[in-house]
């Protein structure tokens, strides 16, 4: 039993928070995921560039980030040193979970990165191009099963938007949710579902190995190093990107907001950050200030509409 | 890359100082809890889950597996010297082992148990290394309907098939399934049964439930027991070493035990208790001197002890390759994997290959450690039995509470200005539930398995139906699912037949609490 107690003391000591931290970044997801990696990459770049001396990352996982968001909005109000990482998935989760706390309850600072959504089929599929898929959708929407990440997330939203854009009923979209693109991979490769839809990085190695055929990417421009057309090139007037952002606490002064924005901008233009983006394969989509606020408002409105169309939000 | 190369790389990783240390902590703790009656590997791993939250995933999992193996070794010591099984898997060992100890042959009994466990552990771990890749290949072709059939099989075998009352097993299972519904539904993103409580959005934390049911429940049960039986510890007299005759009589039993234990452990209906019992009956029928059984036959110790260790390795086959826990300890180890964002199953071998092979290789290392720990240091372990129970359980209670607070200690509930941790409230509520279940003879493992597998089974069922656009026939389309359902039916019918043929007492004994 002594060993147990000792282990308790040791682990207690390990989890003791450090004293001074210039910034604390809350990653509203479990360690290892995209938001956690974003927060930890920020932490490294902040300290490496000397923008902030001591940065702490905490994880509050759950419910598409809304649990972390609620905790952040309640506990860190007015704290000019607190940051939270978030993204498009959070926008959908706030709506589907009917979260009492929304992005209006924090102070969005800037969009940092973006990732295209990829639409893939297994190599053995009879669907060769996006046109084949569109034809199948128009023939019988429900017979096309889509495997992707969590319900109401960017993968699901993109599938709904594609249906809506080509003029079929989005409520008929047969979307099979997995906890992420990687989990969905087995079902896609095994031919259990018709198409797979998720972030391009989730499928990249299988596309390269020829096990999956890339039909299209959802971004405005083609993804560098990936051989596949955009939706727009394929005749579907649609561009969606899974972006990640950083927000500050509610109730901070405009001066504090400006100071944080300056720090984040310095971070985003720094060499450490740019190198990290390259190694992780993230696309720099930095946007701040009023342009970002407008973009965010437009994304929230579009998401709400499509989630209502799909039938996830009343 | 073939299995040898993968295992070789795993061994290199396992021999790193850090991993060796985790393995050593694991086997030491495992032996200790194996020796102590009432405290088992499931409870221990559950207690350690929240503590390891911030530690290295590979190291923590190596430690958990070490605890599992160690528990199987340690349980025999108590069975032999105290006539109280330290572990449910060692019930059978007490039959012959304690008789041997009374005849002054405690030393050889302990030795044959330890060496048998070592040999069985070694062979079965190698078995795991070679069988797992095949199961993985097979499992990759599983569709949602096949997974659902697999989960149905697991539900039935864990709850209804083996136990004195299928009704109690099913009741416990449905408590778990009910708890599993709480939270956000993955297919639609809507919340269910969360009552507006943010902490419930992500469902009930398996760790909290496991710690509560096993640790708090067991503590309350012990505190409520009025009769404290003080059993006497038999001193180890005479030579610890086995005679030539002992060796001759043991080795066949070790091998038989291994080959009975490994497949039984690997089956969804497995578990070390069943394996050790089957091995005991096998030894009895193979014995040259069956009249010695019941009076200290060494085969009756050697076989079952080999079998329970082999089945521990066998249990890891479905756990690692299919994500299917077949025992309480395996269920909590599964929660351990999930805690680190790892989902056991065929994809684990593809995505986290180095971690899996390091884990398997460190089981081989742990096995050597256990042999060294158990043979020369036996006197030390026996001393553990003199620790007063109140001290022990006070420690467990403190540790359970601190661990839960450490992993999930957000003070998210409030009464006026007083803030309390919601997770801690859950811990106490489930602790009382655990006590009530024990008090009225309901098994604990099906509750945990229900909470873990329930949501997965639901997702797979709905995915299958969604892909087929609502046609339920899809559930019976593939040969895999048909075979699994057939096995499930056998698992229900077989115990009924056994009961009718008067073997009910045996099943009752197997049903004893597995923790």
Question: Could you read off the pLDDT of A36-61 as tens digits, one per residue?
Answer: 888 888 888 888 777 777 788 887 77
Query: Between A281 and A197, where is the model more confident?
Result: A197
Q: How confident is the model at residue B229 (pLDDT cuts 50, 70, 90)?
A: low
> Does domain A17-114+243-309 sit in CATH 3.40.190.150?
yes
Q: What is the pLDDT of residue B268?
A: 66
Per CATH, A17-114+243-309 and A115-217 having the same topology is answered: yes
- Asked whether the beta carbons of residue A67 and residue B54 sit closer than 8 angstroms, the reply is no
Spatial distance between the Cα atoms of A135 and A130, rounded to a whole number of angstroms: 9
A267: closest CA among A28, A48, A36, A8? A48
Task: Locate the domains of chain A by residue range.
Answer: 17-114+243-309, 115-217
Tokens of B68: 């599992």
- Asked whether the beta carbons of residue B51 and residue A183 sit closer than 8 angstroms, the reply is no
- Asked whether the beta carbons of residue B48 and residue A15 sit closer than 8 angstroms, the reply is no
Those residues whose C-beta lies under 8 Å from the C-beta of residue A64, and which sit 6 or more positions away, are A89, A90, A92, A93, A94, A96, A97, A150, A152, A153, B184, B189
Q: How far is CA A248 from CA A56, A256, B26, B207, in A?
A: 15, 10, 43, 32
Q: What is the pLDDT of residue A18?
A: 38
Query: Between B208 and B273, where is the model more confident?
Result: B208
Q: How confident is the model at residue A16 (pLDDT cuts 50, 70, 90)?
A: very low
- pLDDT greater than 90 at residue A119: yes
CA atoms within 13 A of residue B497's CA, in its CB half-sphere: 6
Closest approach of B51 to chain A, Cα-based (Å):
7
- pLDDT greater than 90 at residue B78: no
- Asked whether the beta carbons of residue A32 and residue B341 sit closer than 8 angstroms, the reply is yes
Q: What is the pLDDT of residues A82-111, one digit of tens each?
A: 888 888 888 888 888 777 778 888 888 888
- pLDDT greater than 70 at residue B222: yes
End-to-end Cα, chain A, rounded Å: 54
CB A72 within 8 Å of CB A84? yes
Tokens of A215: 């039909």
Of all residues in chain B, what percent carry a pLDDT higher than 70? 90
SS3 (DSSP) at B411: coil
Q: How confident is the model at residue B418 (pLDDT cuts 50, 70, 90)?
A: confident
Q: What is the pLDDT of residues B17-27, one digit of tens each?
A: 998 999 999 99
- Asked whether the beta carbons of residue B341 and residue A3 sit closer than 8 angstroms, the reply is no
- pLDDT greater than 70 at residue B227: no
Closest approach of A82 to chain B, Cα-based (Å):
17
Tokens of B278: 């089957």
SS3 (DSSP) at A4: helix
Sign of CA dihedral B62, B68, B73, B77: positive
- For residue A129, count CB atoms less than 10 angstroms from its CB and return exposed for 0-12, middle for 13-18, buried for 19 or more: middle
Spatial distance between the Cα atoms of B207 and B50, rounded to a whole number of angstroms: 7
The lowest-confidence range among A26-30, A64-68, A297-301, B408-412 is: B408-412
- pLDDT greater than 70 at residue A131: yes
- Cα torsion B108, B112, B115, B116 to 10°: value is 180
- Asked whether the beta carbons of residue B399 and residue A152 sit closer than 8 angstroms, the reply is no
The ipTM is 0.77
Spatial distance between the Cα atoms of A225 and A177, rounded to a whole number of angstroms: 28
Tokens of B252: 């066949």
Q: What is the pLDDT of residue A51?
A: 76
- pLDDT greater than 70 at residue B507: no
CB B10 within 8 Å of CB B140? no
Average pLDDT along chain B: 83
Nearest to B467 among A3, A98, A192 (CB): A192
- Asked whether the beta carbons of residue A97 and residue B140 sit closer than 8 angstroms, the reply is no
**Backbone φ/ψ region at B238: left (φ over 0), alpha (ψ -120 to 50), beta:** left
- pLDDT greater than 50 at residue B317: yes
Q: What is the pLDDT of residues A222-251, one digit of tens each?
A: 888 788 899 998 888 888 888 888 888 888
Closest approach of B202 to chain A, Cα-based (Å):
6
Of all residues in chain A, the one with the smallest CA distance to B188 is A151
Nearest to A12 among B198, B351, B406 (CB): B406
Q: Under CATH, what is the fold of the domain A115-217? A: D-Maltodextrin-Binding Protein; domain 2 (3.40.190)
Segment of A163-172, A304-313, B76-85, B184-193 carrying the highest mean pLDDT: A163-172
A212: enclosing H helix or E strand: strand A212-217
Q: What is the pLDDT of residue A15?
A: 44
Closest approach of A44 to chain B, Cα-based (Å):
19
Query: Between B375 and B458, where is the model more confident?
Result: B458
Mutation site for A-interface testing, chosen from B31, B141, B189, B346 by largest number of A Cβ within 10 Å: B189
Contacts of B341 in chain A (CB under 8 A): 30-33
- Asked whether the beta carbons of residue A8 and residue B402 sit closer than 8 angstroms, the reply is yes
Q: How confident is the model at residue B505 (pLDDT cuts 50, 70, 90)?
A: low
- Asked whether the beta carbons of residue A185 and residue B410 sit closer than 8 angstroms, the reply is no
Mutation site for B-interface testing, chosen from A11, A32, A65, A91 by largest number of B Cβ within 10 Å: A11
Q: What is the pLDDT of residues B163-174, one digit of tens each?
A: 667 888 899 999
Segment of A38-47, B225-234, B472-481 carrying the highest mean pLDDT: B472-481
Closest approach of B456 to chain A, Cα-based (Å):
11
- pLDDT greater than 50 at residue B439: yes
Closest approach of B7 to chain A, Cα-based (Å):
25
Q: How confident is the model at residue A2 (pLDDT cuts 50, 70, 90)?
A: low
- pLDDT greater than 60 at residue B47: yes
Q: What is the pLDDT of residue B513?
A: 43
- pLDDT greater than 60 at residue B93: yes
Nearest to A186 among B202, B346, B391 (CB): B346
SS3 (DSSP) at B183: strand
């Amino acid at each position: 039993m002594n060993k147990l107690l000792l282990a308790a003391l040791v682990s207690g000591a390990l989890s003791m928070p450090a004293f001074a931290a210039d910034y604390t970044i809350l990653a509203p997801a479990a360690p290892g995921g995209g938001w956690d990696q974003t927060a930890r990459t920020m932490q490294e770049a902040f300290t490496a560039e000397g923008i902030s001396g001591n940065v702490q990352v905490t994880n509050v996982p759950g419910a598409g980030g809304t649990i972390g968001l609620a905790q952040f909005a309640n506990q860190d109000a007015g704290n000019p040193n607190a940051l939270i990482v978030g993204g498009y998935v959070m926008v959908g989760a706030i709506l589907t979970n009917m979260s009492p706390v929304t992005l209006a309850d924090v102070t969005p600072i800037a969009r940092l990165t973006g990732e295209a959504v990829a639409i893939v089929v297994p190599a053995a599929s009879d669907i060769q191009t996006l046109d084949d898929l569109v034809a199948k959708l128009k023939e019988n929407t429900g017979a096309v099963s889509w495997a992707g990440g969590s319900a109401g997330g960017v993968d699901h939203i993109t599938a709904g938007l594609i249906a809506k854009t080509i003029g079929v009923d989005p409520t008929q979209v047969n979307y099979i949710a997995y906890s992420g693109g990687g989990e969905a991979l087995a079902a896609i490769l095994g031919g259990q579902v018709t198409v797979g839809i998720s972030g391009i990085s989730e499928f990249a190695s299988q596309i390269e190995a020829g096990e999956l055929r890339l039909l299209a990417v959802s971004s405005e421009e083609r993804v560098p190093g990936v051989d596949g057309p955009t939706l727009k090139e394929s005749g579907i007037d649609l561009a969606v990107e899974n972006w990640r952002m950083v927000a500050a606490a509610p109730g901070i002064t405009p001066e504090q907001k400006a100071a944080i924005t300056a720090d984040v901008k310095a971070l985003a233009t720094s060499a450490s950050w740019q190198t990290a983006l390259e190694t992780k394969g993230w696309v720099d989509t930095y946007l701040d200030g009023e342009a970002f606020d407008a973009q965010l408002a437009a994304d929230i409105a579009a998401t709400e509409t499509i989630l209502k169309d799909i039938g996830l939000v009343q | 890359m073939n299995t040898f190369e993968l295992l070789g790389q795993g061994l290199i990783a396992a021999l790193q100082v850090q991993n060796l240390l985790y393995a050593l902590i694991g086997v030491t703790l495992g032996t200790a809890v194996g020796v102590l009656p009432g405290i088992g590997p499931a409870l221990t791993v559950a207690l350690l889950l929240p503590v390891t939250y911030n530690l290295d995933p590979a190291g923590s999992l190596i430690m958990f597996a070490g605890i599992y193996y160690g528990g199987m070794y340690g349980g025999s010591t108590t069975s032999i010297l105290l006539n109280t099984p330290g572990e449910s898997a060692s019930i059978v060992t007490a039959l012959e082992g304690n008789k041997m100890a009374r005849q002054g042959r405690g030393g050889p009994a302990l030795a044959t148990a330890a060496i048998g466990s070592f040999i069985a552990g070694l062979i079965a771990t190698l078995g795991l290394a070679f069988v797992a890749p095949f199961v993985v290949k097979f499992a990759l072709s599983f569709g949602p309907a096949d997974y659902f059939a697999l989960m149905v099989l697991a539900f039935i075998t864990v709850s209804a098939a083996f136990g004195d009352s299928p009704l109690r097993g099913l009741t416990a299972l449905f408590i778990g399934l009910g708890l599993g519904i709480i939270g956000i539904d993955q297919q639609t993103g809507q919340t269910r049964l969360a009552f507006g409580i943010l902490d419930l959005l992500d469902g009930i934390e398996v760790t909290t439930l496991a710690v509560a049911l096993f640790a708090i429940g067991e503590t309350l049960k012990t505190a409520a027991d009025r009769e404290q039986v003080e059993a006497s510890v038999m001193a180890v007299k005479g030579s610890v070493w086995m005679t030539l005759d002992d060796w001759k009589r043991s080795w066949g039993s070790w091998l038989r035990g291994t080959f009975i234990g490994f497949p039984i452990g690997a089956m969804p209906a497995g578990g070390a208790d069943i394996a050790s019992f089957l091995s005991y009956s096998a030894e009895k029928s193979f014995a040259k001197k069956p009249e010695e059984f019941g009076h200290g036959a060494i085969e009756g110790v050697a076989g079952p002890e080999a079998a329970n260790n082999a089945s521990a390795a066998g249990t890891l086959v479905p756990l690692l390759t299919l994500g299917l826990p077949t025992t309480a300890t395996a269920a909590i180890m599964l929660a351990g994997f999930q805690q680190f964002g790892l989902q056991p199953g065929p994809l684990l071998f593809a995505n986290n290959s180095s971690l899996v092979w390091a884990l398997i290789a460190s089981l081989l290392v742990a096995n050597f450690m256990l042999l060294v720990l158990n043979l020369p240091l036996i006197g030390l372990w026996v001393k553990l039995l003199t620790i007063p129970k109140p001290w022990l359980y006070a420690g467990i209670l403190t540790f359970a509470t601190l661990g839960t607070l450490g992993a999930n200690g957000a003070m998210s509930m409030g009464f006026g200005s007083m803030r309390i941790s919601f997770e801690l409230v859950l811990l106490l509520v489930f602790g009382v539930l655990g006590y009530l279940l024990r008090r009225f003879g309901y098994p604990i493992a099906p509750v945990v398995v229900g909470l873990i597998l329930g949501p997965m089974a639901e997702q797979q069922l709905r995915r299958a139906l969604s892909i087929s656009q609502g046609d339920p026939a899809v559930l019976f389309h593939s040969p895999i699912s048909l075979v699994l359902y057939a096995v499930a039916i056998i698992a229900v019918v077989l115990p009924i037949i056994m009961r009718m043929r008067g073997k009910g007492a045996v099943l009752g004994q197997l049903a004893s609490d597995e923790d």
